[in-house]
Amino acid sequence: MITLGMDIGSTTSKCVLLKDGVEIVACALAPAGIGTDGPVQAYREVLLRGGVPEREIRRKMATGYGRKCWPPADGELSELTAHALGCHFLLRSARTVIDIGGQDAKVVSLDAQGRMASFVMNDKCAAGTGRFLDVMAGILKRDVDELGGLAAQAAAPAAISSTCTVFAESEVISQLANGVPVPDVVAGICKSVAVRVAALARRAGVKEAVFMSGGVAQNAGVRKALEDDLGVTLHTSELSQLAGALGAAVYGFQKMSK
């Protein structure tokens, strides 16, 4: 049985085709989220890659910020449930999920079956989210995927003390004007996100194994700063950004199997 999960986020649309709840047939990611043709692109791409005719998909589940805006969906589920299921699929021993996406950060506690037991979320402030990193990368005229490599070259992370993205922007500019090396500034930016998310994680309670999902999981600078702050190993996967879409496909399978 083929099920499909679509995760429509603030910056990207992700789609996963799953066979019998266990085998990933194809994945697609379009770099455009809610209010764009990103979902259409991701859907078209995943069907092409999977070589699966649309009529063979038994259930299409939508999740993410834009989950109510995708007409082909047969149903929807919250991002929290979707990430919990997706991360459980990727790492059976995961008991805590740290998800940092484009506009929010969530920490979800899981039970042994991958069900969400509790969660803590920041969706009020850009600091501590991918948005903060995107803005800072823009100031540095770098791509966001360069930040991890730059942070690894830092001698000492610069102190970014502002809790507000707008003030932190001025702080970064003045650090650069004072000759602080770019890698140190980048490490400071990554640390600033990690400090906020680590505080969220402590509120939720950190139980190992800890798995990181969402696009920011690809940023090694944030990952390392989080590991240092929390004193745990963070597990991740090349499919971390697709965890929500994967979880939605798993949910669709579970519904159809009942």
**Residue 241 in contact with residue 212, Cβ under 8 Å?**
no
Give Cβ neighbours of residue 212 (< 8 Å, ≥ 6 apart).
97, 98, 99, 100, 223, 226, 234, 235, 236, 240
Residue 9 binding ligand ADP, by CB under 6 A? yes
For residues 60-79, which are near ligand ADP according to CB under 6 A? Answer: 64
Among 30, 216, 234, 248, binds ligand ADP (CB under 6 A): 216
Residue from 42, 80, 82, 144 touching ligand ADP (CB under 6 A): that is 144
Q: How many whole angstroms separate alpha carbon 116 and alpha carbon 19?
A: 23
Residue 3 binds ligand ADP, judged by CB under 6 A:
no
Q: Does 102 bind ligand ADP (CB under 6 A)?
A: yes
Q: Which of 47, 133, 135, 245 binds ligand ADP (CB under 6 A)?
A: 133
The least CB distance from residue 245 to ligand ADP, in Å, is 9
CA separation for the pair 240, 258 (Å, rounded): 27
In a 3-state reduction of DSSP, which class is residue 121? strand
244: tokens are 């929500």
Closer to ligand ADP by CB, 87 or 144: give it. 144
Min. distance of Cβ 136 from ligand ADP in angstroms? 9
Minimum Å gap between C-beta 1 and ligand ADP is 26
Residue 5 DSSP code: E
**Of 75, 66, 60, 71, which Cα lies nearest the Cα of 30?**
66
Query: Which parts of 22-61 interact with ligand ADP (CB under 6 A)?
Result: 33
Please give the Cα distance from 84 to 68 (Å, whole number).
Answer: 20
Q: How many residues bind ligand ADP (CB under 6 A)?
A: 21
Q: Does 219 bind ligand ADP (CB under 6 A)?
A: yes
Give the interface with ligand ADP as residue ranges (CB under 6 A). Answer: 9-12, 33, 64, 101-103, 130-131, 133-134, 144-145, 214-216, 218-219, 241
